[in-house]
């Protein structure tokens, strides 16, 4: 993956504060992304959110192992 993390959003307020410019916010940790982490979130410098971030998870992963695919058995 060389794309921005799908859990990355931008918010202009949070943690009881508001900002003039939207800041990077992680939907997994429910916290603003620190500047060092933002490079991973944005997949800069060949970083990959899926492998380089310990918070990342793949929301599609559960449906690809077959356990939830057939519910009528």
Binding residues for ligand SF4, rule: CB under 6 A, are 5, 7-8, 26, 28-29, 33, 37, 40-41, 49, 53, 55-56
Of 46 and 53, the one with the shorter C-beta distance to ligand SF4 is 53
| Residue with token string 């620190």 | 34
Q: Can you tell me the distance from the alpha carbon of 25 to that of 38, in angstroms, rounded to the nearest whole number?
A: 9
| C-alpha closest to that of 23 among 32, 15, 31 | 32
Give whichever of 11 and 41 is closer to ligand SF4, judged by the CB atom: 41
Q: Which is nearer to ligand SF4, 34 or 66 (CB)?
A: 34
């Amino acid at each position: 993956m060389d794309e921005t993390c799908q859990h990355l959003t931008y918010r202009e307020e949070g943690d009881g504060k508001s900002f003039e410019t939207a800041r990077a916010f992680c939907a997994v940790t429910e916290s603003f992304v620190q500047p060092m982490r933002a490079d991973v979130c944005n997949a800069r410098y060949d970083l990959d959110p899926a492998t380089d971030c310990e918070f990342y998870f793949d929301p599609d992963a559960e449906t690809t192992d077959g356990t939830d695919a057939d519910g009528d058995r």
